[in-house]
């Protein structure tokens, strides 16, 4: 079969799944809250039961990350996400303001197309299916080709559980014949109402360019500032563990340490005890060439790989217990490739004289590649913490936590999510952690509170056109001209 035939097959599959999802949604849009919650609870339980197996499958299929960490992400996406939305009302009257006499009524969006990545495939599929079905939407998954099998298996398990508990067939689907034309056909299909995009920048841009409503994410070039007031032992432990978690495949993972100068040496020593290896100048140059192509694009062969694997690729030796590679840097921007987002176990390192200079360095990193996404700060000085909170152009600022697990809502109070909005500054429609609340609309039933002003009830004087007398005179003049001309 030719490549062209595969594209046609993918396009046809997209059309078929979208049509079937729309028919299923017409039934599901009338489901009761009890029916919705019963189906979602069953899907959550089924996904949780399969979470370890799916984590192993995702690791084996993509070659990214750590199977045990993908298992943990699957638990988060099935159990924690469901627990965060299970009490959310998504059917009927969901709010009432007796003083303003307004009733808020939930209204589902329709068919959602969900683009899912290769870095967090099974967990993202779990998460998106749960929030869509909870909002009474249908969903069709368009997975990354490198994670097609594990993504389909995740969707199949959840669809099977949903249908066994009353959901109509076709409500949950996943493409198996993956191609760019097929994914574009799905996004552009007349029955698709919204696109939920998690993936690389080109695919997110494609989602926004369809003319349909779209929730997309931006790249996460997350700096972590460590202040002189920080608990350095905790900061070192968290930074290394977070960067090493699933080999840095979550977009909220720390990408560069910005260390306050007086504590920089102590922090570096503590991080070395946790398994950080600080590369030499020559080794850093080798990593620059390895991780990025000359045009600045990422070398996908290095994504989600261990420190030992990367060092071997680059051609230098590291201690056996190394968990991450740390590169000392002095510049930010195109002239320094390692100041970019690195979806692997390489961490940048900067030293600044005080928190004000550290603040500026963090902003440089964010503006270069992570606008609107996330930032981590380790400090106990509340004035410094609040200054970072008020000044940074990001929408998730984690305090004394792991970037990887804090931004997604596992170790903090933000909404549990695998899709993190970057706001207007990052090219997204929202800076929220996307959840079920974003996948249904609200109708407002509003009663009159006061009578209209008296002036609004008056007929008023006609303006902008001729009066009846002016029209009559114009007609008479025209007739007189005709009569005079004829004689």
Q: How far is CA 444 from CA 105, 236, 447, in A?
A: 6, 50, 10
Closest CA to 222 of 205, 239, 197: 239
Q: Which among 40, 251, 359, 362 is annotated as catalytic?
A: 251
How far apart CA 257 and CA 362 sit, in angstroms, is 9
How far apart CA 321 and CA 372 sit, in angstroms, is 35
**Three-state DSSP class for residue 365:** helix
Tokens of 368: 């270069």
Length of the chain: 487
With the C-alpha atoms ordered 18, 21, 27, 32, is the resulting torsion angle positive or negative? Answer: negative
Cβ–Cβ under 8 Å, residues 131 and 435: yes
How far apart CA 128 and CA 223 sit, in angstroms, is 27
pTM score of the predicted model:
0.90
CATH assignment, 222-407 = 3.40.309.10
Tokens of 224: 């972590």
Question: Edge-to-edge strands of the sheet including 93-97?
Answer: 93-97, 102-108, 440-446
Q: Per 3-state DSSP, what percentage of the chain is helix, strand, and coil (rounded to 5)?
A: 50, 20, 35
How far apart CA 190 and CA 142 sit, in angstroms, is 16
What stretch of H or E contains 214? strand 214-215
How far apart CA 79 and CA 86 sit, in angstroms, is 10
Architecture label for domain 3-217+435-443: 3-Layer(aba) Sandwich (3.40)
Strands (E), 324-382: 324-328, 346-352, 372-378
Closest CA to 202 of 189, 217, 185: 217
Query: HSE-up of 146 (CA within 13 Å, CB side)?
Result: 15
How far apart CA 103 and CA 96 sit, in angstroms, is 5
* Per-position pLDDT tens, the chain of length 487: 455 688 999 999 999 999 999 999 999 999 999 999 999 999 999 999 999 999 999 999 999 999 999 999 999 999 999 999 999 999 999 999 999 999 999 999 999 999 999 999 999 999 999 999 999 999 999 999 999 999 999 999 999 999 999 999 999 999 999 999 999 999 999 999 999 988 666 767 777 778 889 998 878 899 999 999 999 999 999 999 999 999 999 999 999 999 999 999 999 999 999 999 999 999 999 999 999 999 989 999 999 999 999 999 999 999 999 999 999 999 999 999 999 999 999 999 999 999 999 999 999 999 998 888 999 999 999 999 999 999 889 999 999 999 999 999 999 999 999 999 888 888 888 999 999 999 999 999 999 999 999 888 888 766 666 777 877 787 788 777 777 765 5
Cβ–Cβ under 8 Å, residues 220 and 187: no
The ranges assigned to domains in the chain are 3-217+435-443, 222-407
Is 251 among the residues known to form the active site?
Answer: yes
Tokens of 30: 């009338």
The residue to which tokens 């290095």 are assigned: 302
Q: What are phi and psi of 223, to 5 degrees?
A: -85, 150
How far apart CA 222 and CA 76 sit, in angstroms, is 21
Tokens of 89: 């009302």
* Residue 473: count of CB within 10 angstroms of its CB: 12
The residue to which tokens 């931004």 are assigned: 407
- Beta-carbon contacts of residue 446 (< 8 Å; ≥ 6 apart): 100, 101, 102, 103
Q: Are strands 222-226 and 254-260 parallel, antiparallel or unpaired?
A: parallel
């Amino acid at each position: 079969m030719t490549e062209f035939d595969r594209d046609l097959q993918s396009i046809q599959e997209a059309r078929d799944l979208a049509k079937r999802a729309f028919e299923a949604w017409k039934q599901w849009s009338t489901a009761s809250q009890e029916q919705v919650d019963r189906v979602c609870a069953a899907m959550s339980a089924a996904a949780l039961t399969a979470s370890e197996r799916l984590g192993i499958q995702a690791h084996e299929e993509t070659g990214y990350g750590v199977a045990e960490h993908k298992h943990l992400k699957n638990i988060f996406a099935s159990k924690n996400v469901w627990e965060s939305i299970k009490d959310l009302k998504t059917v009927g009257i969901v709010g009432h303001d007796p003083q303003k006499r307004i009733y808020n009524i939930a209204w589902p969006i329709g068919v959602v197309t969900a683009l899912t990545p290769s870095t967090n495939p099974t967990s993202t599929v779990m998460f998106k299916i749960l929030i869509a079905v909870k909002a009474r939407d249908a969903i069709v998954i368009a997975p990354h080709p490198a994670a097609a099998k594990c993504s389909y298996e995740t969707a199949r398990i959840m669809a099977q559980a949903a249908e066994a508990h009353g959901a109509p067939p076709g409500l949950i689907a996943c493409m198996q014949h993956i191609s760019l034309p097929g994914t574009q056909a799905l996004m552009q299909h007349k029955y698709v109402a919204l696109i939920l995009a998690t993936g690389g920048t080109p695919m997110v841009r494609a989602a926004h360019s369809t003319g349909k409503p779209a929730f997309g994410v931006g790249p996460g070039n997350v700096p972590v500032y460590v202040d002189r007031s920080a608990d350095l032992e905790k900061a070192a432990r968290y930074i290394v563990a977070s960067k090493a978690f699933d080999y840095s495949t979550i977009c909220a993972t720390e990408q560069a340490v910005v260390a306050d100068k007086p504590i920089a040496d102590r922090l570096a020593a503590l991080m070395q005890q946790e398994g950080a290896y600080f590369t030499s100048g020559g080794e850093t140059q080798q990593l620059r060439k390895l991780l990025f192509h000359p045009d600045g694009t990422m070398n996908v062969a290095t994504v989600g790989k261990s420190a030992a694997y990367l060092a071997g690729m680059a051609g230098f030796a590291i201690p056996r217990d190394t968990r991450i590679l740390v590169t000392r840097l002095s510049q930010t921007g195109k002239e320094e490739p390692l100041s970019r987002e690195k979806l692997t176990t390489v961490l940048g390192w900067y030293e600044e004289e005080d928190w004000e200079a550290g603040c500026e360095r963090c902003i440089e990193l964010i503006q270069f590649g992570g606008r609107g996404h996330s930032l981590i700060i380790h400090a106990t000085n509340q004035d410094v913490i609040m200054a970072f909170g008020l000044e940074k152009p990001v929408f998730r600022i984690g305090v004394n936590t792991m970037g990887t697990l804090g931004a997604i809502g596992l170790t903090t109070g933000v909404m549990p999510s695998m899709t993190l909005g970057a706001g207007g500054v990052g090219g997204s429609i929202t800076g929220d952690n996307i959840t079920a609340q974003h996948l249904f609309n609200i109708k407002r039933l509003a009663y009159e509170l006061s009578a209209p002003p008296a002036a609004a009830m008056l007929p008023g004087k006609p303006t902008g056109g001729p009066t009846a007398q002016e029209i009559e005179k114009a007609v008479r003049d025209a007739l007189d001209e005709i009569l005079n001309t004829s004689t």
